[in-house]
Chain A
Amino acid sequence: MSALVIADHDNEHLNAATRCTITAAGELGGGVEVLVAGHNCAAVADAAARCEGVSRVLLCDDESCRAQLAENIAPLVVQLAERYTHVLAAATTSGKDLMPRVAALLGVAQISDIIAIVSQDTFIRPIYAGNVLATVQSADSTRVITVRRTAFQSAGDTDNPAPVETVTAAGDSGLARLLEENQTPSERPELTGADVVIAVGRGLGNKEHLDLIEKLADSLGAAIGASRAAVDAGFVPNDYQVGQTGKIVAPRLYIAVGISGAIQHLAGMKDSQVIVAINKDAEAPIFQVADYGIVGDLFTVVPQLIAALNR
C-alpha cells in the first residue's frame, strides 16, 4: 500500500491543491510519495518534501518536462506506477489533462474528482452536476484518481523534510509543443483557495460595472469568481468561471451578485460555508442555497455594502 501524488506546480511554486491531495493520499493509510516533474523546479520538490505525511519526493528535472505536457509526463508516471497502489493528482486542469492519459496507458479506470475515501478501493464522487453522489468501487490493482481540493484539508509543513531523489524523464514525445501561455494577471487571492469569493453574474449588465465588484472584493480581501454567463459576456476572464464545468470553490464566505443560481453554477459553490445572494428577483433559485439573501438592485445594494464595510 503506497500512493504517488503527482505535484501540480509552475516550476516555482507547489500548487496548494496538491497539499489537499497529499492529505487525501494519507487517508489511504500507506506511505505517500510525491512526483515533481518539471524543469528548474527544485524549489517545488523542497516544498513537497516539507509537506506533512510525505515520505519521499521524486524529482524529474528535465527540459522535456518544463511545460508539463501530458504527452511527456504520462509515460514517466506509467514507468513509476507499478510501485504504487494509488496514483493521485488534484482535479486541476493539469490533473484532469494528465490522469486519464496515465490510466489508459496502464489499462485501468480513472476515478474523477473524489470528495471522500471510503476504503482503499471505494470512493465518493459527485455526478450530474453534484445533484447526486456516487459511491464507486474500483476493480483495478492501480487506482488512478483525481481529488477535489475543497473536500480535503491542506497538508501542513514539518521541520523534518522527506528525502528528494531524482528520476529520469521519459523524454520528448514529439507530439505536442507549447507555443504560448497567458496567465490572467491578478493581485487577488487564488480563486479555489480564497477565504472569501465575490461572484458576479449576468446581472452586472456590462463590463464597465466591474469596478463595483472590484471595490467590494477589495474591502473583503476577496477573490472574484463568475457565472458562465458573466464569462461569456466578457465581463471577466474564462478562468473565473465557477461551476460544474469551471472551478469548484468552498470559501468561508461566497457572495453571489446578479447570479440566478442555475444547477451548473451551484455545482461549483454550494459547499461554501456561508452563501450570500444579492439579486433583484426574489424567485431566483440562488436564494434556495443562500444563508442570507438581499432582494434588491445590485447597483443600490453593492455600493451600500462597500460603504458600510469601509466605515
Chain B
Amino acid sequence: MKILVAVKRVVDYNVRVRPMADETGVEISNAKMSMNPFDEIAVEEAIRLKEAGIADEVVLVSLGVSQCQETLRTGLAMGADRALHVETDVELQPLAVAGLLKAIVDRENPALVVLGKQAIDDDANQTGQMLAALLGWGQGTFACAVKIESGAAVVTREIDGGTRTVSLKLPAVITTDLRLNEPRYVKLPDIMKAKKKSIEKLAPEDFDLDITPRLQTLKVSEPPKRKAGIIVDDVNELLDKLRNEAKVI
C-alpha cells in the first residue's frame, strides 16, 4: 500500500505574527519557518504504518515556494521514501491545493492520503475534505487513532462531544489531530541519508487546472486589544472585583 502525505511550510508555531503597518499582509519575511505541526503528525503516522508492514511506500508532496524543499527534507529525514514538489510563487488557496493534490493522486494511485487537519497559518481546515470530495473518497477528519484492516481504514475522530469511530472504504483521506501520535525527532544521520532521497520537481502548469485564488484578502489587521488588567492580593479582593466591578458573578 502506498501512502501520500501532503506537507505545508508555515511560520513556526512559536512566532507571534503581526500585520504589516499598511495592513496589506503579515510581517513574516524573517520569521522562522517549519513544517506545519499537524503535517508532521501525518508524516509520522504514515511512517508508523510502513514500519508496521502495512504500507510499503510513503511519498511526500509539498506545494509552494522553492524553500518547501527544506520541509520535504525534514519529512524524508523522518523516514518517508521520496518526495514531490509542485513549485510555485503564486498564493495557493485550499481548493487549488486540493485540485493539484487530486492530479498527483491520479498519477501516484495511493491507497491513503494523510494530511494535517489545519495549517496554523490560514487556520482554514479545508484541504483534506476538499481533496476527498474531488476524488469521491471517504474522509476521516480530525483523527486521533487509525487502523487499517481488510480494505478499510478505521478512524477514530475527535468531535465536539467526544469521539466517533468510522470505517472508511479504501482509498480514503485522513486528516490528523494533535493526539494521533507524537512525531519523532530526526537525528543527524537521518538528515544525511535524506539528502540522497529524491525530490521530483513539478509545476502547476504540468496540470490542466485553474488555480486562481477565489478569495481576495482586502486587508489584514490587528484584533482589538484587551485593556490592561490588575493583580489582586487575595481571593476576597478577587471576589469583590468580580461581584462589584465586573459584575459577572
User: Are A and B a genuine interacting pair, yes or no?
Assistant: yes
Binding site for B on A (CB under 8 A): 10, 69-71, 74, 92-94, 96-105, 107-113, 122, 126-140, 173-184, 192, 196, 220, 228, 231-232, 237-239, 244-245, 247, 252-253, 263-264, 270, 273-276, 282, 287, 289-295, 301, 304-305, 308-309
Q: Is the interface of A mostly helix, strand, loop or mixed?
A: mixed
Q: Please, which residues of chain A bring their CB within 8 A of the CB of B221?
A: 132-133, 135
Q: Please, which residues of chain A bring their CB within 8 A of the CB of B122?
A: 127
Number of A-B contacts (CB under 8 A): 250
Q: Please, which residues of chain B bring their CB within 8 A of the CB of A184?
A: 161-162
Per a CB cutoff under 8 Å, which of B157, B220, B242, B246 touches A134?
A: B220
Quick check: A293 and B231 within 8 Å, CB to CB? yes
Q: List 13 A-B contacts (CB under 8 A).
A: A94-B160, A104-B129, A127-B26, A128-B121, A133-B220, A175-B137, A182-B164, A239-B162, A244-B120, A245-B178, A253-B242, A292-B232, A308-B239
Find the A residue at minimum CB distance from B102: A104
Quick check: B129 and A97 within 8 Å, CB to CB? yes
Find the A residue at minimum CB distance from B27: A132
Interface 1/0 per residue, B120-157 and A, CB below 8 Å: 11111111111111101111111010000000001001
Alpha-carbon separation in the docked complex, A182 to B158 (Å)? 10
Alpha-carbon separation in the docked complex, A10 to B221 (Å)? 37
Quick check: A131 and B18 within 8 Å, CB to CB? yes
Alpha-carbon separation in the docked complex, A289 to B224 (Å)? 12
Cβ of B217 under 8 Å from chain A: yes
Nearest Cβ in chain B — how far from A69, in angstroms? Answer: 7
Alpha-carbon separation in the docked complex, A293 to B122 (Å)? 32
Cβ of B52 under 8 Å from chain A: no
Binds A, one of B60-68, B74-82, B91-99: B91-99
- How many B residues have CB within 8 A of the partner chain? 81
Find the A residue at minimum CB distance from B127: A100
Known contacts A237-B162, A245-B178: does B218 contact A136 (CB below 8 Å)?
yes
Q: Please, which residues of chain A bring their CB within 8 A of the CB of B144?
A: 238
Quick check: B168 and A128 within 8 Å, CB to CB? no
Find the B residue at minimum CB distance from A17: B160
Find the B residue at minimum CB distance from A115: B223
Binds A, one of B9-17, B43-51, B106-114, B195-203: B9-17
Per a CB cutoff under 8 Å, which of B26, B216, B236 touches A137?
A: B216
Q: Is the interface of B mostly helix, strand, loop or mixed?
A: mixed
Binding site for A on B (CB under 8 A): 11, 13, 16-19, 26, 38, 93-95, 98, 117-118, 120-134, 136-142, 144, 154, 157-169, 172, 177-179, 214-223, 226-227, 229-232, 234-236, 238-239, 241-242, 246, 248-249
Per a CB cutoff under 8 Å, which of A100, A136, A287 touches B217?
A: A136
Quick check: A127 and B129 within 8 Å, CB to CB? no
Quick check: A270 and B94 within 8 Å, CB to CB? no
Quick check: A93 and B167 within 8 Å, CB to CB? no
Quick check: A176 and B232 within 8 Å, CB to CB? no
Quick check: A71 and B139 within 8 Å, CB to CB? yes
Quick check: B160 and A93 within 8 Å, CB to CB? yes
Nearest Cβ in chain B — how far from A55, in angstroms? Answer: 28
Q: Please, which residues of chain A bring their CB within 8 A of the CB of B26?
A: 127-128, 132
Please give me the 8 A-B residue pairs with the lowest Cβ-Cβ distance, nearest first: A175-B138, A100-B129, A104-B130, A109-B214, A104-B133, A100-B126, A128-B17, A291-B229
Quick check: A177 and B94 within 8 Å, CB to CB? no
Per a CB cutoff under 8 Å, which of A10, A97, A126, A253 touches B248?
A: A253
Q: Please, which residues of chain B bring their CB within 8 A of the CB of A127?
A: 26, 121-123, 220
Nearest Cβ in chain A — how far from B240, in angstroms? Answer: 10
Quick check: B125 and A92 within 8 Å, CB to CB? no
Q: Please, which residues of chain A bring their CB within 8 A of the CB of B142?
A: 93, 96-97
Quick check: A292 and B242 within 8 Å, CB to CB? yes
10 more A-B residue pairs beyond the given contacts A70-B129, A239-B160, A304-B234, with a C-beta to C-beta distance below 8 A: A74-B133, A92-B160, A93-B158, A110-B95, A128-B123, A139-B214, A176-B167, A264-B13, A289-B229, A293-B232
Find the A residue at minimum CB distance from B228: A288
Alpha-carbon separation in the docked complex, A127 to B223 (Å)? 10
Nearest Cβ in chain B — how far from A78, in angstroms? Answer: 9
Find the A residue at minimum CB distance from B125: A96
Find the B residue at minimum CB distance from A105: B133
Quick check: A179 and B165 within 8 Å, CB to CB? yes
Quick check: A176 and B166 within 8 Å, CB to CB? yes
Quick check: A183 and B161 within 8 Å, CB to CB? yes
Quick check: B19 and A132 within 8 Å, CB to CB? yes
Alpha-carbon separation in the docked complex, A75 to B19 (Å)? 38
Q: Please, which residues of chain A bring their CB within 8 A of the CB of B214?
A: 108-109, 138-140
Q: Please, which residues of chain B bring their CB within 8 A of the CB of A70?
A: 129, 139, 141
Find the A residue at minimum CB distance from B96: A109
Quick check: A274 and B94 within 8 Å, CB to CB? no
Quick check: A136 and B215 within 8 Å, CB to CB? yes
Quick check: B234 and A131 within 8 Å, CB to CB? no
Quick check: A109 and B95 within 8 Å, CB to CB? yes
Q: Please, which residues of chain B bring their CB within 8 A of the CB of A253?
A: 242, 246, 248-249
Quick check: A93 and B239 within 8 Å, CB to CB? no
Q: Please, which residues of chain B bring their CB within 8 A of the CB of A273?
A: 246, 248
Q: Please, which residues of chain B bring their CB within 8 A of the CB of A74?
A: 133
Alpha-carbon separation in the docked complex, A82 to B227 (Å)? 45
